[in-house]
Amino acid sequence: MAELTYREAVARAIAQEMERDESVVLIGEDVGAAGGVFKATVGLFDKFGPKRVRDTPISEQAILGATMGAAMTGLRPIAEVMFADFFAVCWDIVANQIAKSRYMTDGQVSFPLVIRAGNGGGLRFGAQHSQSIENWAMMIPGLKVVAPATPADVVGLLAAAVRDDDPVVFCEHKALYASKGEVPDGEIVDKLGTAKVLRSGSDATIVALANMVPRALAAAEQLAANGIDATVVDVRSLVPLDTQTILAEVSKTGRLFTVEENPRLCGWGAEVVSIVSEECFDSLDGPIVRITTPHIPLPSADALEDMAIPSVDRITEVVQKALQE
């Protein structure tokens, strides 16, 4: 067992898979000798060389097109889109080409590829370098979407994503890169489509993703001090979505709160709420509440950004107020 940062966990996972499988390659802007702008690929260039760890120009369409073409002809490429916001300049390759081609060709081609991206806010980067884009990817049939919250999950889920025969959009939360956690020694391979129950309570079920997970856990501690016993579920994977774990945990407490970093409209929580409303309505003891960023572009100033993204205090207050009503 070693303590790793979230960014070190990314490099460890990639190294684990590249050592195991010669067909795994990594491309992206500054991923090679520079070790990535977020330092999440440090050491890989030295270890695996320029043939397997390739720097690219600032050409997101070419990066992802190359990734797609390589995946359909026998490689298992990992591509980095530096900031998830940049998906907007190569969305055609993601949404029209990679996601749809297996279906359109009735299974003639497969895309065993991973697109990693620095996702989410909290670093005062402003509206074009802070977005949570997991919902963009989630709504496209043919893409799997994963967003880990801990270094151990980064290793296990990234390894699972590399081994998966379908395209996976892997959202690394930028505000978590410096966070630390214990990671078991040896090979780690997790399973996509599995949520984790991190804390069990009897009064409320809080469902969170990525950087909202540690905040939900901290809020649960505050709530406990006020006599409210909350369950916290880390969704981890939006597609496939582990609805059974969520439904089971909501049924136990009768109350559901989603904590989403995304702006309000069409956030992943809305889909979770829809499923829970349809499938365990009778277990609910009160209204479902979504805690999200307001429907605004993220502001840059620290005070404003902190007001926008759900905070520990906001989660605590919203849950407390809802349960008191």
Active site residue ranges: 129
With respect to other proteins, which residue has the nearer C-beta, 203 or 279?
Answer: 279
| Residue 251 in contact with other proteins, rule: CB under 8 A | no
Among 8, 80, 190, 242, binds other proteins (CB under 8 A): 242
User: What is the distance between the alpha carbons of residues 292 and 271, in angstroms, rounded to a whole number?
Assistant: 14
Considering only 16, 97, 131, 316, the residue that binds other proteins (CB under 8 A) is 97
- Helical pair 212-225 and 312-324, crossing angle rounded to 10 deg: 50
Closer residue to other proteins, CB minimum distance, 56 or 231: 56
Query: Quick one: 96 or 202, whose CB is closer to other proteins?
Result: 96
If binding means CB under 8 A, how many residues of this protein chain bind other proteins?
49
Closest to other proteins by CB, 106 vs 185, is 106
Is 102 a residue that touches other proteins (CB under 8 A)?
yes
Residue 56 near other proteins by CB under 8 A: yes
Give dist(CA 180, CA 7) in Å, integer: 9
Contact letters (x/-) for other proteins, 252-291, by CB under 8 A?
A: -----------------------x----------------
Closest to other proteins by CB, 24 or 176: 24
Phi and psi torsions of 172, nearest 5°: -95, 125
Q: At what angle do helices 243-253 and 268-279 cross, to 10 degrees?
A: 60
Q: How far apart are CA 325 and CA 322, in angstroms?
A: 5
The set of long-range contacts for 49-57, using a CB threshold of 8 Å and a minimum separation of 24, is 51/25, 52/18, 52/24, 52/25, 52/26, 53/25, 53/26, 53/27, 54/25, 54/26, 54/27, 55/27, 55/28, 55/29, 55/30, 55/31, 56/27, 56/28, 56/29, 57/29
Encoded one letter per residue, x for contact with other proteins by CB under 8 A and - for no contact, window 139-158 reads --xx----------------
| Distant-in-sequence, close-in-space partners of 88: CB < 8 Å, separation ≥ 6 | none
Is 278 in a helix, a strand, or coil? helix
Contact yes or no for 171/120 (Cβ under 8 A):
yes
Q: Is residue 93 within the footprint of other proteins (CB under 8 A)? A: yes
Q: Which two tokens stand for residue 247?
A: 């439904």
296 forms part of the interface with other proteins (CB under 8 A) = no
Minimum separation from the CB atom of position 19 to other proteins (A): 17
The binder of other proteins chosen from 19, 21, 46, 96 (CB under 8 A): 96
Contacts with other proteins by CB under 8 A lie at 25, 51, 54, 56-57, 59, 61-62, 64-75, 77, 92-93, 96-97, 101-110, 112, 141-142, 164-166, 193, 239-244, 275
